[in-house]
Amino acid sequence: MKTLIAYVSKHSCTAKCARLLAQSLRNPATLADLARDNPDLAEYEGIILGAPLYAGSIPSRAKAFCRHNLARLKEKKLGLFICCGLEDQAQAQLESAFPPELTRHASARASFGGAIDLERQNFLVRTLLRKLMKITESYEAIDRQSIQDFARQWEQV
């Protein structure tokens, strides 16, 4: 099956997870960064869509991609993943991040953890992260097991 992994990645965590997922799949997958690529969905039988969560929402570029391609995505084998720093809220946020009809249609869904690089944030965001989330230093908490599990689930369906 020809698979596309399309993603939006603001600070590189989602891109890294997309690459790790592509490496975990038995069959080669095409990676597409939606910030610069406009893939032809007709070329693929399966599409995996990944996005980070910021304040409980995926970026507008991911929302627009879903909205613009809704009918085509519902015709394909579909997988959804998020990168989220709040693991205790990840499942609920995953369920509400994408349009409900895509979430229901997806055969594989997961949160792959997250990462925050304080040095790459602007002053305001860095201040909010420190005060609201009590983050004092950069961290990476990518859940590689979740990526492996997603890959197995994707290949079984």
CATH number, domain of 97, equals 3.40.50.360
- Please report whether residue 136 resides in a domain: no
Specify if 121 maps to a domain. no
Enclosing domain of residue 76 = 3-115+145-156
Q: What is the 3-state secondary structure (H, E, C) of the chain?
A: CCEEEEECCCCCHHHHHHHHHHHHCCCCEEEEECCCCCCCHHHCCEEEEEEECECCECCHHHHHHHHHCHHHHHCCEEEEEEECCCHHHHHHHHHHHCCHHHHHHCCEEEECEEEECHHHCCHHHHHHHHHHCCCCCCEEEECHHHHHHHHHHHHHC
Q: Is the model's pLDDT at 117 over the cut of 80?
A: no
Mean of pLDDT values over 23-29: 95
In a domain, 15, yes or no: yes
Query: Domain for residue 130, yes or no?
Result: no
pLDDT in tens, 44-58: 999 999 999 877 789
Domain count, the chain: 1
pTM over 0.75: yes
Residue 78 lies in a domain: yes
| Tens-place pLDDT, residues 121-142 | 778 777 776 777 676 776 678 9
